[in-house]
Chains A and B, each alone.
Chain A
């Protein structure tokens, strides 16, 4: 048995943990506020609060386990982890259950897991492993990146088929973030961007009007003023009506009248911003910003490529989800089903995010071991 290295405890990054728990706690309070108007149970009996706390406990255990395993061992088994998650995603169409018009969940007795959440981390791990060993890292040509694109496309296609467009969007944007960091030539980004910009209008012209309409409402439901578009307006009213100081905890009115859809999951930020105002929103987003900047530092200081890319990848998951979620609830981005990390109700999202923080802490505390 290896002696426990004291340096590990010494370099444990408490700030990452404290930031995570602070956001999580505030999230629990907001879930309570978002559902109490209908539940009338009190904080400790509120079923969603209790479940979310249990998910957090499970996430915490997962986080500890992830911290204890040397991430360099994870490097060796990276593709095994990736393959296991891809298999879970493949299993969804076969054994999955349907909810909200899409087949996304696998039911495991009292809880159901959403494998598409795990795909985000699995793709980051696989990418980090690939560029860790690739000779080209630092100056990646398009051909060098082809295996990485395949690693993205395989689970991406299946998540898209569920359909879960939002998650595919996040996975793709995170994958490109890691590609950027790993050194994919800027020229390649420009060419890919140009091709996409050229191809879309061309394909578009071939579609019939009603097909275009269908694609539009699928890509950006807020263009449907009777569906999500209405929800966005109500979400904006909720956020805006919070004004500078907010209406106060448990005093949001939009939420109580059931105007906001998904008020404890995807749209929880509107409930929060209505009650806590601009001040609260700035403090909350500040906490996220601190977490992200801290994660970037971990990536910067990592001693090997795998650690650096892993830390960068997971921090980019957190970052993009925060930006997209706040952007969508405040009406500047399309409504896609993206959760606010540590804040939205949901077991798969929460535990995945906590494992991501565990990976950051892991990379950070082992930078002195070699």
Chain B
């Protein structure tokens, strides 16, 4: 064994030993340097360091970054920051913390709450870090603190940025809100300190990383009661980037005002890009309450409110689409070839199917109608019939092509996909086969079908733009503080529905006549000089039948939802809109269409006049009621029923 080891033995070159000598010299030199360094720190400068250590004089003061602003598409500010004067305490500097707290409470009054609880809650923070006692002090209190400064060691007033939403409830569900970072968020993300603000919902939450900015700070030397003597070293804060939205602030405000007195939603899209121009959800909340620090009672009130003001009805609310769904049905029927534009179906006020009668809303019936007339007058029987011809699974397939039954992919939390039933869906959900009678309910947007207002706005946009489904977006770009573009959001086409050009054209024409012809159900959305196309819908929220003409006495949650979807101008659409008046108990044409009219009037800058008043103007004939306008299928129109046009029924 030993001999094999010896064979591998190698002589040591002489160079090796020479170099060891160099190495020894380096070792001696570096250790000598270390001793010199320690001599400098501990002996030459020792006195100074001793005094720094005795008073813990060197502190780190964080300077919170200013959050990026949020702007509308025209660079108008919608979310901003303003200075806030906060009362802070460094407990280590207050020689007697309870005494300091007591005199603070005496100075500021009882409204500031229990300050000692705040100090107790901050027990585990790093030493000498500020504890914020009161945010946003008023001038009177600031003056009180400043004049009593010397009785309050460790207490100071610091100015920092405070999030502010100058338009209050406007677009609150889309903008979201900020709040103090919680334990989970601090563990999941790096660089957040106790008391930092973080986006909790909406754009504030989704775009947090861009809006947040980078905190700065100062190494400061302080005196024995914690007052800053000099700044040793400093890093400037980097403000967050600005978010430019696709929202038009003025249009948003008009839409908010138009919804006054209603619950529900308004969603307006640019059909050419999928950009959201306005999105309203009512009832709403004031995000400023969160920026200030929401009180428990306020939070409970918001959460317990039956109308759920914190939820966005536009993206989280699901409602039966009612008759607005008929545009999807018409497209499916024309594409599948179960009808042609000339196919007429007789409506006698109802359809006997199975062992019951499915009624048309118009008990006297619509007579013989083609698809154009059926949409304009919203004939239920026509759609019962084509629903039967299509079958539930074909209806589902076409609905999916429009993007129904699945979230649109908007970057907002908790988006609902709604429900598009199919036979497979029903088997899975209820373990039951699909009954043909259920297809009839589906055909008029009732039964299991539910959609969100955003989805219906998207359906409207798809019909308006010739068949492209866009992913709805509300952010146009992210801009740096110097105005440079950091990120540009491009329109994102999800799919093309792949319909014949004529199919969508026919639906658009029918929707135009729905608004502009005397028999149409949507005449309340008529605008002077702009050709608007639309479809009304009245969705039953409960199974209760009875007289539909008045639901005033009904419990709110049983009343019908009023829908209106619209686009304009018909020939070259620039806007698509969906309006939902939740549990209004009124018809789509009565409750929802006027809201859409107000928004569209502002969008096009035309006077928003009552169409009833227009009609009274002598000799006024709405442009689109004139014969021969394009290929209006006018030859097929039935003679006008004078009783219908005031009866904006569904």
Contact = CB atoms under 8 A, between A and B. Distances in A.
Q: Do A and B bind each other?
A: yes
Interface of A: 2, 70, 72-73, 75-76, 101, 132-133, 137-139, 177, 180-183, 224-226, 229-230, 233-234, 236-244, 253-254, 257-259, 273-274, 277-278, 281-282, 285, 288-289, 292-293, 296, 299-300, 302-306, 308, 312, 316, 319, 323, 326-327, 330-332, 370
A273 B40 CA distance: 13
Interface residues of B, number: 54
A291 B117 CA distance: 55
Interface string B139-152: 00000000000000
A296 B217 contact: no
Given A237-B58, A241-B53, A293-B24, A72 B13 contact: no
A278 B53 contact: no
Contacts of A75: 8
Given A240-B42, A300-B17, A259 B6 contact: no
A240 B48 contact: yes
B23 A177 contact: yes
Interface in B43-68: 43, 45-50, 52-54, 56, 58, 60, 62
B19 interface: yes
B42 A308 contact: no
Contact of B13 (A183, A243, A254, A331): A183
B19 A181 contact: yes
Given A237-B58, A259-B56, A370 B9 contact: yes
A134 to B, nearest CB: 9
Contacts of A274: 53
A278 B16 CA distance: 36
B52 A237 contact: yes
B42 A289 contact: no
B551 to A, nearest CB: 60
Contacts of A296: 20, 23-24, 27
A324 to B, nearest CB: 10
13 contacts: A70-B5, A101-B190, A230-B219, A239-B42, A243-B42, A243-B50, A282-B35, A300-B20, A305-B11, A305-B13, A323-B34, A330-B38, A330-B41
A305 to B, nearest CB: 5
B260 to A, nearest CB: 47
A242 to B, nearest CB: 6
Most buried by A among B6, B22, B34: B34
Nearest to B13: A138
B37 A330 contact: yes
Given A240-B41, A285-B31, A302-B12, 6 more contacts: A240-B48, A243-B47, A243-B49, A278-B38, A300-B17, A305-B10
A5 B633 CA distance: 115
A183 B217 CA distance: 50
A327 B42 CA distance: 14
B26 to A, nearest CB: 9
Contact of B43 (A225, A237, A244, A304): A244
A138 B14 contact: yes
A182 B12 CA distance: 10
B488 interface: no
Contact of A308 (B6, B12, B127, B217): B12
Nearest to A252: B53
B1 interface: yes
A181 B17 CA distance: 8
B233 interface: yes
A285 B42 contact: no
A286 B535 CA distance: 91
